[in-house]
Structure 1
Amino acid sequence: MASLHHHQEPHGEDLARAAQDALERSGEQWTTMRAHIFAALAGFDKPASAYDIAEAVSKAEGRRVAANSVYRILDLFVAANLARRVESSNAYIANAHPDCLHDCIFLVCDTCGQTTHLDDDRITNGVRSAAEKAGFAPERPVIEVRGKCAECDAAS
C-alpha cells in the first residue's frame, strides 16, 4: 500500500482535457457551461466559492451566471472527482489528477486562505479503519487542518 504518493499534475488545456475525459467516462457530457465553470475553477489559486466562480464566468461570458447553476455543476464535478470541496470554507478546488481516486487532506491557512492538498493514504486509511471499528461505514473522510502556512507563520 502506498502512503505518500505524487502525481504528474496537468495544467491549463491538459487539465481541462483530463477533466473532460474523466467526466465523459462517467457518462456525463462536457458542455460549454461545464467547460467555462471548470476553467474558472482551475484559474483560482485558492479555493473558490460558487459565487466567486459565477462572477468569474459572468465576466468572461459577458452575461450573468447564477450561483445556483454553478453549485449544481460543482456537485457534479465533485461526484466525478474533477473537483474537491474544502468543507470548512464551503469552497472548491480543481482536482489536478481526476483519474486518481483517494481521500484528500487539506491544510488551510486561516491568514491568507491558501490551501494545500496532501495525499497520505496511511492517514486516510487509518481514519477509515477507525470509523469501521466503531461500526460506521465511511464513504468520504474529510480531513482538514486549519492553521498558518509557512509564509504567514514566518511573517508573524
Structure 2
Amino acid sequence: MARHAHHEHSGADLAAEAEAALTRAGEQWTAMRASVFAALAAQARPVSAYDIAEEVGNQRGKRVAANSIYRILDLFVRTNLANRIESANAFIANTHPGCRHDCIYLICDDCGAATHLDDDRLTGALRDAGSKAGFADVRPVVELRGLCRSCAG
C-alpha cells in the first residue's frame, strides 16, 4: 500500500496547526472557529453539526445555531481542517491539516469509530478514472463500512 508521509498532530499542537493552515488559506481564526475546532478535535468519532452546536453552546452559555456550525465545518472541509464522513453526515478533525491528500475512512457500523487509512495508489487511481471521464478537480471520498476489531471480536 502506498502511504502518504505526514505528521499526525494532537492536542494544542493540532489546534496551532489548524490555525496556521486556516490563516495560510487566507481565512481568519476567530474565537467561534477556534471553539468549533476544539469541540470537533475533542471527539474520537465523527460527530454531527448538531452535536458540536450543543457542545459549543454549553461552553459559551448560550444557544448556537446548527446552521452557523455547518458554515464553519464547510470552511474547515474546504481548507483541509476537517473531513466529512458522508455516509454518517458527520465530521472528524483532520489530524494533519497542513497536508492535503485523499483519505480513506473505515467506519464501524456498531460503535461508529472512524479509522483513517492512506492508500495513494487507490485514491490516485480514482482521481485518474475521474479525469479520464472528463471531470476536473476530482476529490475521492472513500468510506468503507464494517465492524472494527473491537466490535467484531
Please give the range of the TM-score, normalised by the shorter of the 2 chains: over 0.9
The answer to whether residue 88 in structure 2 is matched with residue 61 in structure 1 is no
| Runs of at least 5 residues in structure 1 that lack an aligned partner in the other structure | none
- Cα distance between partner residues in 2 of 1:133 and 1:127: 10
Matches within 5 A, 1:103-114: 103-114=102-113
Could you tell me which residue of structure 2 aligns to residue 85 of structure 1? 84
Could you tell me which residue of structure 2 aligns to residue 19 of structure 1? 18
Matches within 5 A, 1:1-150: 3-150=2-149
- Cα distance between partner residues in 2 of 1:108 and 1:6: 22
SS at match of 2:50: helix
The Cα of 1:77 is off from its aligned counterpart by 0.5
- Cα distance between partner residues in 1 of 2:23 and 2:42: 21
SS at match of 1:53: helix
| Runs of at least 5 residues in structure 2 that lack an aligned partner in the other structure | none
Deviations 1:93-135 (A, max 9, x none): 0100011110110101101100011111011001111222333
Aligned residues: 153
SS at match of 1:36: helix
The Cα of 1:137 is off from its aligned counterpart by 3.0
Q: Alignment identity in percent?
A: 61
